[in-house]
Amino acid sequence: MRSFLLLLTLLSQPLYADIFAFKDLEGYEKCLQADHLIDDTATGTGAQRRFLGPAEIQNRCVESAAKLLTGKKDKALMMTFIKMTKRGTAPENAIALIGALVSLDRKQCNEMEIYEVINKALSHPKEESSASNFQKARKVAKTCLKDSDYKKDFTDEKDSSNSYLSSNACEILLEEKLVPSCKKG
């Protein structure tokens, strides 16, 4: 009975922010699966304690993964982290990792998994989208437009049946001076 009570007490304790200090894919997966977390932050007058929910935890996990992978030039490892992100959270959250990957190798923009995530992040109204992911997706798309195969495919998105993707793709293409205009509608 004591063992059971001890186990129950341990399981009911909140997780703390050191979960973001992972060093491998296993730690990243645990981070993405955390559903609650207590974050203690030092302030000038002491400390502030905040409760984090799943969405904020997942965003911070992805940020930590991007920092971990930025110094590495291992495309296969980056792709593994991207796939894990897509399984463990909204696919658009992988956009920061995709940015690190395509800055290393623009040919990766043509991988269907990568292309779909970029487009998914651009398939929402700007005002309602996660501003951070939307802006990162715009930046990644502009980087990818330097690849001729991606440019051909992405140019077709200005005529997409998804009006938000069509509008956002058109805006990016106009900014990059790759099309003179886009059809309205």
- Structure confidence by residue, pLDDT tens digits, 59-102: 899 999 999 998 888 999 999 999 999 998 899 999 999 999 99
Q: How many structural domains is the chain composed of? A: 1
pLDDT attached to residue 3: 53
Give the range of the structural domain holding residue 86, as residue numbers without chain letter. 54-175
- For 24, 37, 58, 78, the CA distances from 20, given in Å and listed in that order, are 11, 11, 10, 17
**Does any domain span residue 17?**
no
155 pLDDT higher than 70:
yes
User: Which one is predicted more confidently, 173 or 126?
Assistant: 173
Q: Please give the share of the chain, as a percent, with pLDDT higher than 70.
A: 88
9 pLDDT higher than 50:
no
pLDDT attached to residue 48: 84
Distance CA 152, CA 30 (A): 39
**Does any domain span residue 22?**
no
**pTM for this prediction:** 0.80
Comparing CA positions, the residue from 26, 80, 102, 91 lying closest to residue 58 is 91
Contacts of 30 (CB under 8 A, 6+ apart): 19, 22
**Does any domain span residue 48?**
no
**Does any domain span residue 36?**
no
1 pLDDT higher than 50:
yes
Both tokens assigned to 60: 């911070």
Asked if 50 and 16 touch (Cβ cutoff 8 Å), the reply is: no
Q: What is the mean pLDDT of residues 22-36?
A: 93
User: Mean pLDDT lowest for which of 47-56, 116-125, 174-183?
Assistant: 47-56
Question: Could you give phi then psi for residue 40, rounded to 5 degrees?
Answer: -100, 125
**Does any domain span residue 110?**
yes
SS (H, E, C) the chain: CHHHHHHHHHHHCCCEHHHHCCCCHHHHHHHHHCCCEEEEEEECCEEEEEEECHHHHHHHHHHHHHHHHHCCCCHHHHHHHHHHHHHHCCHHHHHHHHHHHHHHCHHHHHCHHHHHHHHHHCCCCCCCCCHHHHHHHHHHHHHHCCCHHHHHHHHHHHHCCCHHHHHHHHHHHHHCCCCCCCCCC
**Does any domain span residue 40?**
no
13 pLDDT higher than 70:
no
**Does any domain span residue 154?**
yes
Cα 67 vs. chain centroid, distance in angstroms? Answer: 12
Q: How confident is residue 157, by pLDDT bands cut at 50, 70 and 90?
A: very high
**Does any domain span residue 129?**
yes
